Structure 1
Amino acid sequence: MSAPAGARAEEFNPDWSIHPGTVLRDVLMNRGIRQAELAERTGLTPKHINQIVNGSIGISSDIAVLLERALDIPARRWVELDVFHSTYESKKKAQQKLGDFVDWANDFDAETLHRHQIVSPDDEDVTRIEKILRFFGVASPEAFAATWKRARVSFRRSQAFGVAEKNTALWLRLVELSAESADVGPLRARALRSFTRTLPRFTTLPLVDGFVATRRALAEAGVTLVFVREIPETRLCGATTWLNKDSPVIGITARGRKPDIFWFSIAHEIGHILLHAKRETYLNLFVEQAEKDTAESEADEFAADTLIDNSFNQEVADAATRNSLAVIAARLGVGTSIVAGRHGHLTNNWRTGAALRGKITDTEIVELEKETAS
């Protein structure tokens, strides 16, 4: 059937379809042509014509050419009818099969799916499953497993810590899609190293301002920085992934709601880019130091030394008051939250610098999301 006037063909997606044989039957009835007569005109057998009319078989391009000659109806029209009907039937069967994967779809965090308009709260189960598959760019849950779990070493590692892998993949996909829309050139490692030496001063700015400035500076070095809020049961502080061999992407959450953790995570991911293999995805999980593998431990060491030179560790550890920590931060040109966090890690005494660590607010999280989207 033709699309309504003024509508483009790709916009016309009815939830019904007519077999081309039904159209052929109507044409024959309207013209008073018997099936046997059409068989004689086309050189086809009466059985073949009857099978088409009854919807048992379709109309191939060769048959369409014969019908064009016999009935003066363009072959393209018959082929379009047949393709549309065949596609409709195939999609209907595929959607019926998707009904078996409701539990699979339910494993993804509904709030995140709704916030990012991946699915709608009103979607039926099959529609929701199909939208999730399209979001990940895969054809089936089996393809999702092959693409987003088996092929990524970090997902196998995360499994050991009871991490929700589907939500981890959901978060990482959001990071990648955001990065794809950013206009960032190829990685310039020397420029990235140069920026890293200035990163501490960015931590002295208000969190959102510091993020915006850092994002711009990293972009100049060929690194895309993206903020996506944490999804439940992922334990993610951040991640490093690659769009291609020259396009690294850093994804950051607000895990722990502490600015020092936020900045440490950014420095940690920069460490992966400078120290470790390209094209690998590194997931920075919130786990104990003893549980971290070699690459994660190396990235931690890089981040710690980047934010505060290790030669100052003893001075930071010896600080007995909040004011002492603030003075050290001012002298080093680094955020007070960074010094307070370092003091806590070195001494396991989190009370002295608690007020200096601050807290990432809901408003700041929303602003970070807006800046990433801009």
Structure 2
Amino acid sequence: MTHETPPSTTPTEIHTDWSLHPGVVLSQVLARRAMRQAELAERTGLTPKHVNQIVKQAVGITPDVAVLLERALDTPPRFWANIGADWEVYLSEQRASASLKDFTAWASKFDSGTLVRYGIVGRSDSLPERASKLLRFFGVANPEAFEQTWMRPRVSFKRSQAYTVDEQNTALWLRLVEHCAQGIDVSPYRPADLRKSAAQIPAFTSMPFTTGFEAAQTSLARAGVALVFVRQAPETRVCAATWWIDDKPAIGITERHKKPDIFWFSLLHEIGHLLLHPRRKTFLDLEDDRHTDDEAEIEANDYAASVLFPGEARDRIAKATTRQELILLAADLKLGLPIVAGQHGHLTNNWRVGGKLRSTITEQDVAVLEERCQMPAIIS
């Protein structure tokens, strides 16, 4: 029996969906060529039962069968191999999608406001969809892998004795900082350049808050450090953090306490970690606690204080008794007034003199800093 193949029915003209079983495509090919299954069996040497099992999607098309189909139908073996591979991937995705319902309790523990604000999930996403996007965002296959990759080695901070800390949202904040830092171009890291950059920061505190941050970010990038602002996630109590992303050190900072003096001290504290503790370790500072017994934290605190308040600056600040004296001291020390006022309160525990001079990091300030550290696209 002979059967002419019409030119319009070549495989390249057959529209195939990636989710189709190879048997469905074979059935389409046979239908367009008006070829019966029995004839295909004759042409290939396969049994009619085998051909029918392929068409009925009971079995797939093996490489050996694909070679036989090439001879009988002039279809490249890779044509069938690709369809079969796509079908197997589709089945795997379907199974994985079904398993997402087991991850919804894990996904629901992350702060929705933070997830939506940074485009990690959509506001209308279902919990399974949210779980899928979170797994992709953290680069893990399941919650157990998240625990191994993020919770144990990265969220390895000292637990606050006074507060409960949401560890999953802390990991979320760290990943956001890491994600943003990866998009910041910096020079090769050099400690000497970082020391010079740190010495410039006191002058930045005299600038409008957001302008000072921009100057600090630019200066640190030239020293090889990525500075990122990400607003704190609920119940994380993070002031700032330092860690290495590949060969690039990164500092993440929040608006916690909403006071510029705490903000700038925290930034210099993290720079102190990079300079004094060069081993590539994560430092996650949860509170504005300058009365710690942790040696590394004490050293970082001392470094920050020495940069902001060299020589007898702190003694002079502590001796001030009026607002006017603090204002004059800020000008003389070339520091932002909130820095001097905040230090006076910390040193004397008397906030009546300069408390109102500290100023506040506003929501508008936070919005500007977020725009400055705009996230690259996360989940499409």
TM-score, scaled to structure 2:
0.88
- Correspondence 1:9-24 to 2 at 5 A: 17-24=19-26
Which contiguous aligned blocks of 4+ residues in structure 1 show a shift greater than 6 angstroms? none
1:86 is aligned, of 88, 99, 102, to 88
Identify if the C-alpha distance between structure 1 residues 263 and 235 changes in structure 2 by more than 3 Å, giving closer, same or farther. same
Match of 1:256 in 2: 257
Distance in 1 between residues matched to 2:170 and 2:269, nearest whole Å:
18
Is 1:330 the counterpart of 2:300? The answer is no
Q: What does residue 69 of structure 2 align with?
A: 67
Q: Which amino acid aligns with 1:24?
A: L
Q: Decide whether the 8 Å contact of 1:150 with 1:156 is kept in 2.
A: no
2:274 maps to what in 1? 273
Superposed counterparts of 1:220-239, under 5 Å? 220-239=222-241
**Contact between 2:341 and 2:355, CA under 8 Å: does it hold in 1?**
yes
Which residue does 1:109 correspond to in 2? 111
Equivalent pairs counted in the alignment come to: 360
Task: Check the 8 A contact 1:240/1:249 in 2, yes or no.
Answer: yes
Q: Answer yes or no: is 1:131 the counterpart of 2:138.
A: no
Shift, 1:170, TM fit: 1.2
Q: Structure 1 residues 102, 292: closer, same or farther in 2, change over 3 A?
A: farther
Name the structure 2 match of 1:150: 152
What corresponds to 2:182 in structure 1?
180
Distance 1:254 1:41, change over 3 A: same
Cα distance, 1:223 vs structure 2: 1.0
Given that residues 149 and 156 in structure 1 are in contact (C-alpha distance below 8 angstroms), is that contact kept between their aligned partners in structure 2? no
CA contact (8 A) 1:42 1:66 kept: yes
Distance across 2 between alignment mates of 1:346 and 1:263: 17
Contact 2:189 / 2:223 at 8 angstroms: preserved in 1?
Answer: yes
Where does structure 1 lack aligned partners over 5 or more consecutive residues?
A: 1-11
160-169 vs 317-326, which deviates more?
160-169
Give SS of 1:240's match: strand
**C-alpha displacement at 1:335, in angstroms?**
1.2
2:108–2:127 Cα contact (<8 Å) kept: no
Q: Is the 8 A contact 1:329 1:336 kept in 2?
A: yes
Q: Secondary structure at the match of 2:158?
A: helix
- What's 2:320 paired with? 319
Q: Give the whole-Å Cα distance in 2 for the aligned partners of 1:43 and 1:302.
A: 82
Counterpart Cα distance in 2 of 1:93 and 1:310: 66
Specify the SS of the correspondent of 1:231: coil
- Structure 1, 88-97 or 304-313: larger mean CA deviation: 304-313
Aligned partner of 2:340 in structure 1 is 339
1:42 Cα deviation (Å)? 2.6
Q: Which residue of 215, 218, 227 corresponds with 2:217?
A: 215
Give deviations 1:155-177, integer Å, cap 9, x for gaps: 35348753111111111111111
Q: CA RMSD in A?
A: 2.3
Offset, 1:319: 1.2
1:5-51 deviation per Cα after TM superposition (whole angstroms, max 9, x unaligned):
xxxxxxx997x822111232344455565545534433444554343
TM-score, normalised to structure 1's length? 0.89
2:68 and 2:188 map into 1 onto residues whose CA distance is 56
SS in structure 1 opposite 2:212?
helix
Structure 1 residues 90, 337: CA separation in 2 closer, same or farther (over 3 Å shift)? same
Higher relative contact order (CA 8 A, sep 6+): 2
How high is the sequence identity, in percent, across the aligned residues? 51
Preserved CA contact (<8 Å) 2:292 2:298:
no
| Aligned-partner residue type, residue 237 of structure 1 | C
- Partners of 1:74 and 1:268 lie apart in 2 by 64
Query: What amino acid does structure 1 have at the position aligned with 2:178?
Result: E
Aligned to 1:370: 371
Greater per-residue helix proportion? 1
